[in-house]
């Protein structure tokens, strides 16, 4: 049994990391669901390793998502403070515009990170269901 390759070379260089990881997870779930009909010790070990890697990826993205959300909140609070306290001079308008843009960038990035984390979480939950099936704990 040779497991398929799930790396960047399969999807091409034009895909961003988010799309690539989602595709990698979907391809692996399809593969393991097909192969789980006849589990072997080698397949179970391989599945255990891949599940750990996806769980690690999920944990890293959870940490990154929290930090992006924290930075977004901090810049939003800074933006509100500048909006309320700075005069409408040229420098004040520049500060308001810059902090507003940074806040918007963090907001959009946080939204995409939450979406990606949601997909990773659902994928790892699916892998845990498959693990129970492989060990014959769930029918």
- Find tokens 């995409």 and name the residue: 112
Dist CA 116 CA 122 (whole Å): 10
Q: Average model confidence (pLDDT) for the chain?
A: 84
C-alpha distances (whole Å) from 26 to each of 38, 41, 82, 129 are 20, 23, 45, 14
Find the mean pLDDT for residues 120-132. Answer: 92
Cβ atoms of 64 and 112 closer than 8 Å? no
pLDDT above 70 as % of the chain: 84
Q: Give per-residue pLDDT as tens, 71-103.
A: 999 999 999 999 898 878 888 889 999 999 999
Spatial contact of 122 and 54, defined as CB atoms under 8 Å apart = no
Q: What is the pLDDT of residue 40?
A: 87
Question: Are the CB atoms for 86 and 96 separated by under 8 Å?
Answer: yes
**pLDDT tens-digit profile of 33-67?**
998 888 888 999 999 999 999 999 899 999 999 99
What's the whole-model pTM score?
Answer: 0.74
Closest CA to 47 of 127, 102, 107, 121: 127
| pLDDT of 125 higher than 90 | yes
CB atoms within 10 A of CB 50: 19
Tell me how far apart the alpha carbons of residues 16 and 52 are, in angstroms, rounded to a whole number.
23
pLDDT reading at 14 higher than 50 = no
């Amino acid at each position: 049994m040779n497991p398929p390759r799930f790396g960047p070379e399969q999807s091409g260089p034009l895909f961003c990391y988010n799309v690539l990881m989602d595709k990698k997870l979907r391809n692996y779930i399809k593969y393991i669901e097909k192969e789980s009909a006849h589990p072997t010790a080698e397949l179970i070990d391989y599945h255990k390793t891949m599940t750990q890697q996806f769980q690690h990826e999920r944990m890293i993205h959870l940490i990154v998502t929290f930090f992006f959300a924290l930075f977004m909140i901090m810049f939003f609070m800074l933006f509100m403070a500048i909006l309320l306290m700075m005069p409408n001079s040229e420098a004040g308008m520049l500060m308001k515009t810059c902090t507003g843009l940074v806040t918007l960038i963090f907001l959009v990035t946080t939204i995409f990170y939450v979406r990606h984390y949601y997909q990773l979480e659902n994928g790892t939950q699916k892998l845990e269901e498959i693990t129970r099936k492989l060990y014959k704990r769930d029918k």
